[in-house]
Structure 1
């Protein structure tokens, strides 16, 4: 039996603001392991002093900090250096916001130039009709981002085997499966699409590209994943995701 001062995973989850499933994921990823795992029952128990790093972990993930950076910051023994790591990430966020604002302004200008006014845009999102091809797989952006976070922990950079730093996307017309391996571990996650495509295909996507897209995905209600071109490896620097493009005229 564990020490009486230890906390069950459910109570610890409520105390630190993370779900039990998130705690299991962070433990399996080697970021925040429980203090004790009961050898008989498999129950996980946490120590009271783990509450502070758990709350910090929650805040860092809310800032869209990638898991490798979170791991490095939590493991940093020097508080001053930890603050530097946080400030570097915040500076990256500020640069990204600037790029997003510039891109948004350019996109708005292009739309207005193409249509003459803003009267044809906006409106009730409930009436928007999503366009796309019948082969596209539509998934929830936040759900896909969570799946990428989970399986990306099994990727590894290997100059001799570039495929180990990729995630395999597969669809059989019913579900989307993400898989990654470093030859010692195998991580897989099945995502139920909001709308399935007619095509059956598979493709490998660079893990770094997917990590970079995760923040964007979390802010999208739905994204479309089109079938890859004839080559089964998506080129580095691309993911293939696109967000729904609403248009008027739906009934």
Structure 2
């Protein structure tokens, strides 16, 4: 029996049209603007300005460094949490409660959450007051306007993505494979590193890629917690569009960040593919 072609075309047409109108078309406009010179002709002067300026390289290195550290910390914190929720919380209702508490901050604006961290990390904030009261420090620690403060905010914002993807991967691991490894004499640690962790690696890689791309393009959290002292690449793009009104240069900055991010994501996918093949 032949499947109806028209309903399938209609179902695929709507999302494809949405993708074309709200993603591909704007990206084409941005890319075209980045290749337009001051005289209206085709020019790569904007990209030369980016590549030959040491300042842009410093901002790029800082942006990718914070994104990498955010991804690393989210992975180190999120994997044990996801494993605990899936394997140690036996009550399904209690597990759902933990998941709701985990994703509940995602329903709050990044601005509100960042202002909350400003209150917590300030010189007279809850963290410094607690450390001063306990006698661990003598003077308040400056966290706002530092890379550490931005890193704390980014990890808090993006941690749920790692937990959800890894939790889904852990839940799909066949327990019989672990039991087989235990029957063959493998201990808990050996079973985890040789059976469980490799099977969860695709989920961890997917969550890490998601966190990395979100961290690279983050604007609100670095802008508020950085206090104007630290500049990330997304902030440069925003300045060109909102303050300087140089859409050609802003488009070049946007395309540069997009291409570099896609290259790093492709490299991560390639490493994951090689690991799965091995």
- TM-score, structure 1 as length reference: 0.25
Larger C-alpha radius of gyration, 1 or 2? 2
Question: Normalized per residue, which structure has more helix?
Answer: 2
**Higher RCO structure (Cα 8 Å, ≥6 apart):** 2
- TM-score, structure 2 as length reference: 0.23
Question: Normalized per residue, which structure has more strand?
Answer: 1
